[in-house]
C-alpha cells in the first residue's frame, strides 16, 4: 500500500483510522506501529478469550487503549523498568 501511494508512513494513524486518535494517540505516525515505537503495548483492559479472534472487538479495544508512554521528540518515551531510582 505504501508503494502504491495509498498510505504514507509519516501520516498519523488517525488519518486512516479516526477512532485511533483517542487517549493521546492522535499524532502517532503509521511508521511507529511498524517499528514498535507507538507506545501502544497492547490491550490492558481484560477481555474474554474469544475477543482476540474478533476483529471488531480488538479494533475498538486498541482504539480505546491509552499510551504506555508520552510522545516526545519524534518517539514515544517510556520509563525503563530497569532504570535506577537514584
pLDDT per position as a tens digit, 26-50: 999 999 988 877 777 778 889 999 9
Q: Phi and psi for 57 in degrees, rounded to 5?
A: -65, -45
Task: Indicate whether 24 belongs to any domain.
Answer: yes
Task: Indicate whether 8 belongs to any domain.
Answer: no
pLDDT on residue 43: 85
- Give pTM, 2 decimals: 0.69
Q: How many domains does the chain have?
A: 1
Task: Indicate whether 74 belongs to any domain.
Answer: no
Task: Indicate whether 25 belongs to any domain.
Answer: yes
The residue segments making up the domain with residue 43 are: 13-68
Task: Indicate whether 43 belongs to any domain.
Answer: yes
Q: Does 57 have pLDDT greater than 50?
A: yes
Of 5 and 15, more confident = 15
Task: Indicate whether 3 belongs to any domain.
Answer: no
Task: Indicate whether 32 belongs to any domain.
Answer: yes
Task: Indicate whether 80 belongs to any domain.
Answer: no
Handedness of CA 7, 12, 16, 17 (dihedral sign): positive
Amino acid at each position: 500500500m505504501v508503494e502504491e501511494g495509498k498510505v504514507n508512513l509519516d501520516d498519523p494513524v488517525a488519518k486512516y483510522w479516526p477512532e485511533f486518535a483517542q487517549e493521546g494517540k492522535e499524532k502517532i505516525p503509521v511508521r511507529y506501529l511498524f517499528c514498535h515505537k507507538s507506545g501502544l503495548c497492547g490491550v490492558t483492559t481484560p477481555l474474554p478469550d474469544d475477543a482476540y479472534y474478533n476483529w471488531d472487538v480488538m479494533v475498538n479495544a486498541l482504539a480505546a487503549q491509552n499510551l504506555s508512554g508520552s510522545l516526545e521528540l519524534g518517539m514515544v518515551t517510556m520509563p525503563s523498568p530497569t532504570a535506577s531510582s537514584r
